[in-house]
Amino acid sequence: MAESIASTLGAEPQRRSANGSEQLEVVAEKASLRVVIENPGRLTAQMKLWDSRGLAHHCDGRVFLSPEADAGHPCGCPPGMTERRARARHGQGPQPVTTLLFRLAGCPGLGSFRFRSSSWRFAETVEGIRTQLASVSAPALCDLAIRTVEFTAQNGRQVSYHKPVVKVLGPWAPSTAMALAA
């Protein structure tokens, strides 16, 4: 599996020792990956707040997702991401956990992979991406990338961060995988 992934990504698998066992790691210097996202439900955005006892708040920004007794009830989060971020910054609200399940377009038979991000910017784009995925009405060929954003803040400080980006390219078909592998 590591060799197939490495071949698709243009990298070499490296042996690593972790927790007393030898494992293979694939590190690629690619700016983006061609992935297949099967449907909009494979991209989810949740909000979570942890405290010393564990998960203290778990919602989708509108209703609680857990615990089971609270699921479906209003969570009390502000409607806008700006207000949510301000509350989270002060430790008074949850932060985003965005999860994407995908297959590598060059070797879809290897199964699903999971990408998880706590980026506020990525969380803000989820609904738009889900709408684009729904408009494809089939598994979608997409680019998954990590973009570097740099700017100078009002106080003159240089700011740099990494932002996940998903670009929906169109419908995916098995023949696409053959072309990508060639």
Q: What confidence score (pLDDT) does residue 15 get?
A: 84
**Residue 149: in which H helix or E strand, if any?**
strand 140-152
**How far is the CA of 26 from the CAs of 63, 95, 106, 180, in angstroms?**
38, 29, 15, 19
pLDDT per residue over 2-33, tens digit each? 787 877 777 788 888 777 787 878 777 788 89
Q: Is the pLDDT at 178 greater than 90, yes or no?
A: no
Q: Specify the residue for token string 């060059």.
A: 106
Number of residues written out for the chain: 182
SS3 readout for 52-68: CCEEEEEECCCEEEECC
Q: Structure pTM?
A: 0.84
**Band of residue 180 on the pLDDT scale cut at 50, 70, 90:** low
103: which residues sit within 8 A by CB, 6+ positions away?
A: 35, 36, 38, 110, 111, 112, 113
Average pLDDT of the residues in 87-114: 93
Q: Return the domain boundaries, the chain.
A: 1-30, 45-95
Q: Is the pLDDT at 148 greater than 70, yes or no?
A: yes
Chain mean pLDDT for the chain: 89
Write the DSSP string, 70-132. TTTSB----SSHHHHHHHHHTTSS-EEEEEEEEEETT-GGG--EEEEE--HHHHHHHHHHHHH
